[in-house]
Chains A and B, each alone.
Chain A
Amino acid sequence: QQQVKQSPQSLIVQKGGISIINCAYENTAFDYFPWYQQFPGKGPALLIAIRPDVSEKKEGRFTISFNKSAKQFSLHIMDSQPGDSATYFCAATSPSDYKLSFGAGTTVTVRA
């Protein structure tokens, strides 16, 4: 079964708006939570990642919020741009094997 649950499946946002994608996990051994951005025909690109010892990490317009007690984390894309239109995957891994468990993915469409 899928170890990381991701929602929504897709979202449409106006240029300049905020995109929010949510993920939840069950395995408490997970201790590294990356987000990947994938454009059609390309491999996933590492966007931003967080460890459970911090509740928030920001890189430019991208912010991860992490709630360890709820076992949830989310990606916020601020001031969304048409170039942000892509599929976003959350993932999780543990130090025992570094295997990534991926969420189902969210297709983000930013309308100009």
Chain B
Amino acid sequence: SAVISQKPSRDICQRGTSLTIQCQVDSQVTMMFWYRQQPGQSLTLIATANQGSEATYESGFVIDKFPISRPNLTFSTLTVSNMSPEDSSIYLCSVEAGYEQYFGPGTRLTVT
């Protein structure tokens, strides 16, 4: 298994600003993923972040809005840029470890 932490756990932001979410894993992993979970909804994959390569984005998500960094095998960041109230969601990172995927506790973002 893997232990994942995220910072911040929650934040309230003004529209038009940006927030960077950090994801730290307790072991080295190749594949990391970022998901969004809108209130009362299921999880939607934003992008796959592999160390040493550009993040791969899913349909409907673009790098300008959600830039991702993956500087090493235990850390990644997701930035939510130029925020609007529609970006209010829980953002979760996950890691693949031996085919199983483990999730962090999430970052609850509210945009006012």
Contact = CB atoms under 8 A, between A and B. Distances in A.
Interface stretch (A11-19, A60-68, A78-86, A98-106): A98-106
A42 B99 contact: no
Interface in A19-41: 32, 34, 36, 41
B105 A42 contact: yes
Interface residues of B, number: 22
Interface string B93-112: 01010011111111010000
B91 to A, nearest CB: 10
B45 A100 contact: yes
A105 B42 CA distance: 6
Nearest to A99: B45
Contact of A103 (B42, B94, B102): B42
Contacts of B103: 36, 43-46
Interface of A: 32, 34, 36, 41-46, 49, 89, 93, 95, 97-100, 102-105
